[in-house]
Amino acid sequence: MLRVTELDAGYGFLRVVHGISLQVNQGELVALLGPNGAGKSTTLKCIAGLVRPWKGDIAFRGHSIGGLRGDLVNGLGIGLVSESLNLFTGMTVYENLLMGAYSVPEAEKRRRSLDFVFSLFPRLAERRPQLAGTLSGGERKMLAIGRALMGGPSLLLVDEPSLGLAPKLTQQVFDALRKLSDDGLTILLVEQNVTATLEMVDRAYVLEQGEIVLEGSAQKLSESEHVKDVYLGVMA
């Protein structure tokens, strides 16, 4: 469904991503793991059209989308939950969700998406008239995911869902992502929280200093010596 080939990207004169190739198949839940500054977020932003790739190709359903503007990428059915969430803090929870369905013309479809998001995160339904800027960290995260879902994406990109959340809340958010994936949504996830992520995903890539050093099924990765050494803190 998504194929990234030899992607190079960066900011100014600084190259952050060095020739990354990865692939996400229909219905998969794939994680992009790695330490801070490895280029995970940049890769995600390139796919979503927020950062322009320097080189390489990004193909979604066989069509090249590299360098396409963010709003057009969204229109193709790619939803992004960014690291900083980028919520509209001066708008209510309801308005934020409504904005998520900005490019969905059918009112009926919007209403169904809204019901779905509220059933996934009942907390948001309670907070419906509240300004997004006044929500707690966990609620913001839910709202950002909810907003991305409102557009009815076929591919969801999620950047660091566990960032800044207590373990219990992280688990809640992960459960929601797992549920979405089980319902058939294709998800590409960026995470630093390796243990919890490998328990949930189907497949993962490990990114270090802008390059992919490992890839494979979650099972294979959690048994890999490198991952055990560097990420899981297991003494060999």
- The footprint of another protein (CB under 8 A) covers 48-50, 69-72, 74-75, 79-80, 82, 85-92, 95, 98-100, 102-103, 129, 131, 147-148, 150-151
Asked if 117 and 180 touch (Cβ cutoff 8 Å), the reply is no
Report d(CA 149, CA 162) in Å as an integer: 18
**Least distance (Å) from another protein to the CB of residue 223?**
36
Instruction: Considering the complex, state which of residue 59 and residue 98 has its C-beta at the smaller distance from another protein.
Output: 98
Asked if 119 and 78 touch (Cβ cutoff 8 Å), the reply is no
**Least distance (Å) from another protein to the CB of residue 158?**
12
Instruction: Considering the complex, state which of residue 14 and residue 235 has its C-beta at the smaller distance from another protein.
Output: 14
**Least distance (Å) from another protein to the CB of residue 87?**
6
Q: Which of 183, 212, 216 is nearest to 201 (CA)?
A: 216
**What is the 3-class SS of 122-159, one letter each residue?**
HHHHHCCCCEHHHCCHHHHHHHHHHHHHHCCCCEEEEE
CA angle 34, 26, 108 (to 5 degrees): 110
Sheet of 63-64, strand order: 14-24, 2-11, 55-60, 63-64
**Least distance (Å) from another protein to the CB of residue 75?**
5
Instruction: Considering the complex, state which of residue 71 and residue 175 has its C-beta at the smaller distance from another protein.
Output: 71
**Least distance (Å) from another protein to the CB of residue 46?**
13
How is residue 226 written in tokens?
Answer: 């490198």
**Least distance (Å) from another protein to the CB of residue 80?**
5
Q: H or E element: which one contains 111? A: helix 107-120
Instruction: Considering the complex, state which of residue 11 and residue 233 has its C-beta at the smaller distance from another protein.
Output: 11
Instruction: Considering the complex, state which of residue 58 and residue 212 has its C-beta at the smaller distance from another protein.
Output: 58
How is residue 77 written in tokens?
Answer: 């059915």
Instruction: Considering the complex, state which of residue 76 and residue 230 has its C-beta at the smaller distance from another protein.
Output: 76
